[in-house]
Amino acid sequence: MSTTSTSPPLTTSHESAFRVRLRRMGETSGRVLSNPTTLGGLVIIVVMVGMAVLAPWLVEPNTPNASQMPRDWGAIAVPPGSPGHLLGTTNTGGDVLYGVIWGARTSLRLSLIVVTVTVAIGVAVGSLAGFRGGRLDEILMRIVDVFLSIPELIFALAIAAVLGPSFRNIILALAIVFWVKYARIMRAQVMHVKQNDYVDASRVIGDSSWNIFRKDVLPNSITPVVVQATLDMGNIVLVGATLSFIGLAEAGLAEWGVLVSEGQAGISGGRWWASTFPGLMVFLWALAFNLLGDGIRDVLDPKTETR
């Protein structure tokens, strides 16, 4: 009597869970893009990121350091539309178009580095404090409270001023200042999530603390951090441009705050373009990430799901 062997099912439990996650990601993306204002913010972000990535091809650098604006001493403060200077030049002959496009690359680097570092530190500290609790939680949160007691801009200004004028020091100052909010957010989320029944069930069946945190606590605590990180992508560039504007970055750096600073002297004389175009870029960058962050928050926050 012959036996018929049955082949194992094509879809394993791992594959099924993966497909469920993909489907949920697709649904979430569709809900985010269904909001016209959020979609508008995303379009602006795509254009600016594309500008940053393609900067070497859009405006070919002709200086040894591409992040420094080239100077045309024969074209001082020429208006937009002048030959070779589509958006005009500054009072020192800096090409505004070069500064605007390469400034997008500088701002993208600033926001990505600072957000990555601050999220990593903040999530680690907040998770440790919230999950372990006790005296460790008290010590870590008192440190966080000290940082939060000082306004972000003033704190970053003081650190950058002590370290000296450098764009690298601006990045370091912002990383020191911004991580605490993620620690506070993550701690609150972890303390809330770890009280749920499914966490207790994992403890009952003998899961280790690390597995409970990795599988149950972390995935259900990270949503507010994602929203805050999206909002900070715009806020960090705004604060960074402010520090650059007051002279805490290298002179001549292709960065929007530096460009606004160079052009401010010409505003009273009608030479508005050197400050207007980079200032507009800062505004659009901050606006776009705020629109995207608000849209993501409305979709991922269960309290707004019925709206």
pLDDT at 27 (0 to 100): 61
Q: Which residue has the higher pLDDT, 6 or 218?
A: 218
Q: Which residue has the higher pLDDT, 203 or 27?
A: 203
Tell which phi-psi region holds residue 68, choosing left (phi > 0), alpha (psi between -120 and 50) or beta.
beta
Assigned domain for 299 exists: yes
Q: C-alpha angle 125/127/130, rounded to 5°? A: 105
Q: Contact 280/87 with Cβ under 8 angstroms? A: no
d(CA 292, CA 49): 14
Percent of the chain whose pLDDT exceeds 90: 41
pLDDT at 16 (0 to 100): 54
The CA-to-CA distance between both ends of the chain, in Å, stands at 64
Confidence of residue 26 (pLDDT cuts 50, 70, 90): low
pLDDT at 64 (0 to 100): 65
Assigned domain for 92 exists: yes
Assigned domain for 23 exists: no
**Residue ranges making up the domain that contains 136:** 57-304
pLDDT tens track for 53-63: 998 888 877 66
82 forms beta bridges with 85
Assigned domain for 278 exists: yes
Q: Specify the CATH number for the domain of residue 240.
A: 1.10.3720.10
Assigned domain for 19 exists: no
d(CA 126, CA 188): 8
Domain count, the chain: 1
d(CA 37, CA 259): 29
Assigned domain for 3 exists: no
Confidence of residue 10 (pLDDT cuts 50, 70, 90): very low
pLDDT tens track for 251-268: 788 889 988 988 887 777
pLDDT tens track for 74-97: 778 788 888 888 888 888 888 889
